[in-house]
Amino acid sequence: MTEYAEAIRLVLADVPSKTKFAVVAPKLDRKGNLDAGQVLAELTGPSSLLVLWPFHIRVPEDVFAAADQMLDVDALQPRHLMAAIKQVHGAVVDVETATRILQCRLSTLFAALRSGRPVFAGVERLSAICEFVPPKLEVRGSRLEDLSGYGEAKEWGIALAEDLWLWRSGRIDWADVDRGILLSGPPGTGKTMFAGALAKTCSAHLVATSVSRWQSMGHLGDMLAAMRKSFSEAEARKPCILFLDELDSLGDRQSFSGENGNYCTQVVNGLLELVDGSERLEGVVIVGATNRPDDIDPALLRAGRLDTHIRIPLPGFESRKALSRTYFGPTLTDGDLERLAVATEGFSGADFDRVSREVRRQIRKSKGSVSVDLVLSKLPPPMAIEGELRWNVAVHEAGHAVVGLHLDIGILHCVSIRKEVRRYIGQHDGLALFQMGDAGLRDRRSYLDQIAMHMGGLAAEAVVLGTIFEGAGGADGSDIHQASDLATMMEVQLGMGEGLNYVRVRTAHELDRLRRESAVIARRVEKVLLREQERAKAIVESNRSAVEAIARALCENGFLDGPDVARVLAPHSLRGGNA
């Protein structure tokens, strides 16, 4: 603001006029707001006022009413900088140099080109630091076209690049361009990498920040100022991709309470106000990222904001082959890539990046070359699912399948056992995959049947193996976790439990917190799970031969699809049990 005020004074000094101008640049208060009172006080003076007001902060009604005219000052362009350097320093810089140093923050630029320093000394200093401002994300694929495993998000990004090109050329209006997207997925799936590649594909600047970075600035006023600064930086570098990470940390206003409730509400409201600047944000596409999309305030996801939500899953088999080629080089054969794709099941893009660094470090030490055996040696040691462990896992998954089929909860797509697992990733050893039927309104029995299916693996272990193992619980997404969430919803939302009330909960985190804080709810949920476990055990006991037949076939083949299971069950018609 100071530099703009000085520039205006220089311009006005050369304008022949009897009118006296006073240039006012209001200052921020501790809450991150501009002091409008300073402007209004100057209105009583003899001079005409020229007020500098940041375009990312709303102009108060009193100032708007007092203004005779309002003009938007465009962002500093290379030609402006070239002309200024020539006029002030008497030197000439080319377009490429001016464009490069404009990537620096304006305060840094003005500091480097200070009065009394030779201009080329300032340019040299700026050239040394411009590589790091704004933050740049290095991605191996460089562009979206070169990345694998992004599916629908990649298609969206390539379509956005085309729309931005049409907008730049004046063929479509900004209203026809998608202006926001929310990416969600497990940690390490490459949401940050996607933003960097998207910016390169779109030939746009990238401004990357996060909620934790805003929060680290200090109290409420500092945080709001940091938020505005990020948006101002993006607006000054149009076209721009503004990447906002950890959006779930802001929370949902409906869940705020206690001493921090007002603080958190003001933060969410501040972000909504910034996101809503339609004309101001022309040329800026906002990419939000989160690991927990259910924790985000719904208002942020409404039309005109981050209204496109795409989940980025962990990479599948073909994507892992492509990532292996990208990270470990072109010397690997197709057979090598298939071995790595199998061995890296459950890996995220971040896992590939970590392993590739270890591989490159080993190559530097040994002065060797990349081989599939070298890469495999850098992966966590595998544990083969075989022998007694394989039989235990097979019985568990067969229990899910038989209980689910007996209760007709949906279509059984497959039952499978992994050949090996790498424990640190938190993979499940096996899977019984049902597709729930689309029956419209669900009744209480359908929820209880689904809970019984989740308890079916534990029931089969108890009946067939005579003991139970840890695989049914102990992790997010486990059988007991999913059954607990269903039972909690029945008790506090759906009117299907012992009580009749409604508690607004939307996420697994909120359901878990409710069970922790309410002993009554926790006891009710436990009663449901114990009752359905007993029902599942009765079904397994009545159909033990079917469970064991599926388990034997699963041990032998590792994978059974729906028709395979039907053929195994043909000699074993499912019987009643306590359904």
Unique residue bearing structure tokens 């089929």: 405
Please report the pLDDT score of residue 547 as a whole number.
93
Split at pLDDT 50, 70, 90, the class of 131 is: low
Please report the pLDDT score of residue 425 as a whole number.
42
Bridge partners (DSSP) of residue 290 are: 184
Give the CA distances from residue 103 to residues 82, 221, 236, in Å, rounded to whole numbers and listed in that order. 14, 27, 10
Pair (242, 100) in one structural domain? no
| Domain stop point among 107, 132, 157 | 132
Domain with residue 334: its CATH number is 1.10.8
Residue span of the structural domain in which 541 resides: 387-569
CA–CA dist 556, 390 (Å, integer): 10
Pair (241, 165) in one structural domain? yes
Whether 579 is covered by a domain: the verdict is no
434 pLDDT more than 50:
yes
Mean pLDDT over all residues of the chain? Answer: 80
pLDDT above 90 covers a percentage of the chain that reads 18
Split at pLDDT 50, 70, 90, the class of 544 is: very high
Pair (249, 284) in one structural domain? yes
Whether 231 is covered by a domain: the verdict is yes
Extended beta strands in 221-351, E state: 240-245, 284-290, 308-311
137 pLDDT more than 80:
no
114 pLDDT more than 80:
no
Report the sign of the C-alpha dihedral through residues 385, 386, 392, 396, in that order. positive
Whether 266 is covered by a domain: the verdict is yes
Pair (180, 269) in one structural domain? yes
Whether 368 is covered by a domain: the verdict is yes
pLDDT above 70 covers a percentage of the chain that reads 80
| Count of domains observed in the chain | 5
Residue 382 CA, distance from chain mean position? 29
In terms of average pLDDT, the best of 98-107, 318-327, 511-520 is: 511-520
Pair (182, 216) in one structural domain? yes
Pair (369, 412) in one structural domain? no
81 pLDDT more than 90:
no
In terms of average pLDDT, the best of 62-76, 159-173, 433-447 is: 159-173
Pair (333, 474) in one structural domain? no
> Whole-angstrom distance between the N-terminal and C-terminal Cα of the chain?
74
For residues 8 and 50, the answer to whether their CB atoms sit within 8 Å is: yes
Higher pLDDT, 258 or 336: 336
For residues 3 and 73, the answer to whether their CB atoms sit within 8 Å is: no
Please report the pLDDT score of residue 142 as a whole number.
62
For residues 337 and 324, the answer to whether their CB atoms sit within 8 Å is: yes
For residues 331 and 303, the answer to whether their CB atoms sit within 8 Å is: no
pTM over 0.75: no
Higher pLDDT, 253 or 414: 414
Please report the pLDDT score of residue 396 as a whole number.
93
Angle subtended by helix axes 519-542 and 387-407, to nearest 10:
100
Pair (157, 222) in one structural domain? yes
Instruction: List pLDDT tens digits, range 394-411.
Output: 999 999 999 999 998 888
Please report the pLDDT score of residue 138 as a whole number.
37
Pair (123, 170) in one structural domain? no
Whether 22 is covered by a domain: the verdict is yes
CA–CA dist 324, 282 (Å, integer): 39
Higher pLDDT, 109 or 439: 109
Averaged pLDDT for residues 173-177: 88
Q: Could you give the residue numbers annotated as active site?
A: 397
Instruction: List pLDDT tens digits, range 335-364.
Output: 888 888 888 877 877 788 889 889 888 888
For residues 248 and 295, the answer to whether their CB atoms sit within 8 Å is: yes
Q: Which of 154-158, 328-332, 502-506, 511-515 has the lowest mean pLDDT?
A: 502-506
Domain with residue 423: its CATH number is 1.20.58.760
CA–CA dist 46, 69 (Å, integer): 19
Pair (431, 508) in one structural domain? yes
Please report the pLDDT score of residue 291 as a whole number.
83
Unique residue bearing structure tokens 């969410």: 268
| Domain stop point among 43, 66, 89 | 66
450 pLDDT more than 90:
yes
CB atoms within 10 A of CB 474: 10
CA–CA dist 574, 545 (Å, integer): 10
Please report the pLDDT score of residue 140 as a whole number.
43
Averaged pLDDT for residues 436-448: 80
| Domain stop point among 38, 66, 94 | 66
Instruction: List pLDDT tens digits, range 270-292.
Output: 888 888 866 678 889 999 998 88
510 pLDDT more than 50:
yes
Averaged pLDDT for residues 467-496: 88
Whether 575 is covered by a domain: the verdict is no
Buried b (16+ CB within 10 A) or exposed e, 17-39: eeeeeebbbbebeeebebebeeb
Pair (543, 412) in one structural domain? yes
Higher pLDDT, 192 or 401: 401
456 pLDDT more than 90:
yes
